[in-house]
């Protein structure tokens, strides 16, 4: 019996540019839905989203990393700013800002591969936060690109689980986030 013909691998869709947007919003139910609708309706994919209380409890901060057509980004920002619950919406793409992210990586690592793993961890200043007989969890923080590199280096080992916080961002100096 002839083997089924393999379909040619689909060429990967061109990667859309990534944007980082910060939002300062009222801390009320339903705000997140209104924000997400602005993105989804215009075909933007949200890559990461961090929401937490601001300095005053009545406001929250959202940091959103999304991918989509740069030309539409301006419209997204304006539509976000238009929402009654959004105090301000700022596009930080290409800005001077401090960015960081945290990742937790769980590896099922036999003892003989641990030296190598720990070398990688040391190089990235990652912390071992759980050390078991069959598994270990590493915690690393830094710019998202550093985390990408860290995870890629660990992939050849038995990478079991990955949790990333999503990008945290704060504008430097007097600029508003």
Partner 1 sequence: MIVRCLEREGVEYIFGLSGGAALPIFDALSDSKIKLILVRHEQGGTHMADGYARATGRPGVVLVTSGPGATNTVTGVLTAQMDSAPLIVISGQTISPMLGKDAFQEADVTGITYPVVKHSYLIKSADEIPRVIREAFHIATSGRPGPVLIDVPKDIGQGPCTAAFTDALDLPGYTVPGRGDPERIAEAARYLREAKRPVLYVGHGAVISDAGKAITALAEKLRAPVVNTLLGKGAVDETHPLNLGMFGMHGTAYANKAVVDCDLIMAIGGRWDDRITGRVTDFCRRAVKIHVDIDAAEFGKIIRPDVSIHGDARLVIEDLVPQVEMADTAEWLAQIVRWRKQFPLKYPKQGGLRAQHVLDRLNAVTKGDSILTTDVGQHQMWAAQFCLTRSNRAWLSSGGAGTMGFGFPAAIGAQFAQPHKKVWAIVGDGGFQMTCSELATACVNKLPVKCLIINNNYLGMIRQWQEMFYDNRLSGADLEGNPDFVKLAQAYGAKGLRIRRPADVDRILREAHAWDKGPCVVVAEVVKEDNVFPMIPAGASLSEMLIEKPKHRLEKPSGST
The span from the CA of 142 to the CA of 152, in Å, is 15
Instruction: Give, for 92, the enclosing helix (H) or strand (E).
Output: none
Is residue 158 near partner 1 by the rule CB under 8 A?
no
Is residue 75 a contact residue for partner 1 (CB under 8 A)? yes
How far is residue 66's CA from residue 18's CA, in Å, rounded to a whole number? 6
Is residue 74 at the binding interface for partner 1, with CB under 8 A as the rule? yes
Question: What b/e string do you get for 63-72 counting C-beta neighbours within 10 Å, with b at 16 or more?
Answer: bbbbebeeee
Shorter beta-carbon distance to partner 1: residue 21 or 86: 86
Q: Which two tokens stand for residue 84?
A: 């009654």
Q: Which is nearer to partner 1, 88 or 127 (CB)?
A: 88
Give the DSSP H or E segment for 21: strand 18-26
The region of 84-92, 97-105, 109-117, 143-151 touching partner 1 under the rule CB under 8 A is 84-92
Pick one of 29, 94, 156, 173: the residue that binds partner 1 (CB under 8 A).
Answer: 29
Site for partner 1 contains 53 (CB under 8 A): no
Please, are residues 25 and 53 in contact by the beta-carbon 8 Å criterion? no
Shortest distance in whole angstroms from residue 82 CB to partner 1: 5
82 lines the binding site for partner 1 (CB under 8 A): yes
Q: How far is the CB of 47 from partner 1 (least distance, A)?
A: 22
Query: How many chain residues touch partner 1 (CB under 8 A)?
Result: 21
Binding of residue 37 to partner 1 (CB under 8 A): yes
- Quick check: 30 binds partner 1 (CB under 8 A)? yes
What is the secondary structure of 102-142 as a DSSP string?
Answer: EEEEEEE--HHHHHHHHHHHHHTT-EEEEE-SSEEEEEEEE
Contacts with partner 1 by CB under 8 A lie at 25-26, 29-30, 33-34, 37, 41, 59, 74-75, 78-79, 81-88
């Amino acid at each position: 019996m002839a083997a089924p013909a393999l379909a040619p691998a689909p060429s990967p869709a061109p990667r859309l540019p990534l944007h980082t947007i910060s939002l300062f919003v009222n801390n009320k139910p339903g705000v997140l839905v209104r924000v997400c609708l602005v993105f989804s309706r215009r075909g933007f994919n949200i890559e990461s989203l961090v929401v937490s209380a601001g300095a005053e409890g009545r406001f929250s901060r959202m940091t959103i990393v999304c991918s989509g057509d740069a030309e539409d980004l301006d419209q997204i920002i304006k539509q976000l700013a238009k929402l009654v619950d959004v105090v301000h919406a700022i596009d930080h793409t290409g800005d001077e800002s401090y960015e960081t992210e945290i990742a937790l990586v769980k590896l099922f690592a036999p003892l003989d591969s641990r030296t190598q793993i720990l070398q990688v961890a040391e190089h990235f200043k990652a912390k071992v936060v759980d050390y078991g007989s069959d598994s270990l969890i590493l915690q690393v923080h830094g710019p998202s690109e550093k985390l990408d590199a860290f995870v890629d280096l660990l992939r050849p080992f038995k990478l079991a689980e990955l949790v990333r916080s999503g990008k945290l961002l704060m504008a430097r100096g007097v600029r508003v986030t």
